[in-house]
Structure formats: structure tokens, C-alpha cells
Amino acid sequence: MSKKTVLRQFWIDQNGGESVEWALLISLLIVGLFLLLTAINPRVQGLLNNIIAEFS
């Protein structure tokens, strides 16, 4: 089977569209989680440093 045939069947098949939707949803969730963790990283790091300083 050629790549063109496989891509054509994937495009026509309804499950192929659903797979693409799930891939986009997961990609958006990963990007959102990354941005969230990047935004709160300094706060979390400061909190952990304070906890470590209390026990030292």
C-alpha cells in the first residue's frame, strides 16, 4: 500500500478525524500544562526553599 492510499483512507475514515481531534486536544493540554508550570515555577521554588530553610 502506498503512502498516498493510506493517507486517503485515513482522510475518508471517520475514525481518522476523531484521532486528529484527540491529538489536537492532547497537544493543547500539554502546551497549557507547560505554560502553567512555567508560570508557577518561581513560586513553587521559593516555597520549597523556605521549607528547606526551616528544617536546616
Taking a C-beta distance cutoff of 8 angstroms, is the pair 55, 48 a contact? no
- Count of other CB atoms within 10 angstroms of residue 9: 11
Instruction: Give 51's Cβ-side CA count (13 Å radius).
Output: 6
Is the pTM higher than 0.85? The answer reads no
Phi/psi for 46 (5° steps) reads -65, -40
Extended strands (E) in the chain? none
10 domain residue, yes or no: no
pLDDT of 1-56, one tens digit each? 788 887 777 777 666 667 788 899 999 999 999 898 888 888 888 888 999 899 87
38 domain residue, yes or no: yes
Range of the domain at 39: 18-55
45 domain residue, yes or no: yes
32 domain residue, yes or no: yes
Q: Structurally, how many domains does the chain consist of?
A: 1
24 domain residue, yes or no: yes
Q: How far apart are the first and last CA of the chain?
A: 65
